[in-house]
Amino acid sequence: MLAGARVLLVEDDFFTAFDLAAEISRAGGEVVGPYASVSACLDALQTEPVEVAVLDANLADRDVTPVALLLIEREIPLVLHTGIGMPPELRRLHPNLPVLMKPADPQSVIVAVALELNKRHL
């Protein structure tokens, strides 16, 4: 389903990150991360290429808006996987981003990621 795509995983809950990473791998993707903070993720994105992302909205150090904005600037598709909804600034700037509310089945997250990835290739 993900055909070798490098999938950025940004999630601060260990169990959720573990489940999503396993599902990404089962779907044929390569997991980049998981990263539990905005700062760690932004550092990694300086050197790590990614093709699509799964982002938790609320991380250990702040909300994920800076990461999402960088990905959008780079035209990298993303899916927000969150228990709190879209951060206000991100909702104001990009209200149509795909959002899956927790607890979402990991397979549903992968389907949403694959859809976003396929949109990019159309």
The listed CATH number (3.30.50.10, 3.40.50.2300, 1.20.1730.10, 3.90.79.10) that belongs to domain 6-120: 3.40.50.2300
Residues near 105 by beta carbon (within 8 Å), at least 6 away in sequence = none
Give the domain ranges of the chain. 6-120
pLDDT one-digit tens code per residue, 21-56: 999 999 999 999 999 999 999 999 999 999 999 999
pLDDT one-digit tens code per residue, 60-77: 899 999 999 999 999 999
Alpha carbons 85 and 36: distance in angstroms, whole number:
18
Alpha carbons 62 and 26: distance in angstroms, whole number:
30
Chain centroid to Cα 115, Å, comes to: 13
Nearest to 50 by CA among 106, 122, 117, 104: 117
What pairs with residue 7 in β-bridges?
31, 52
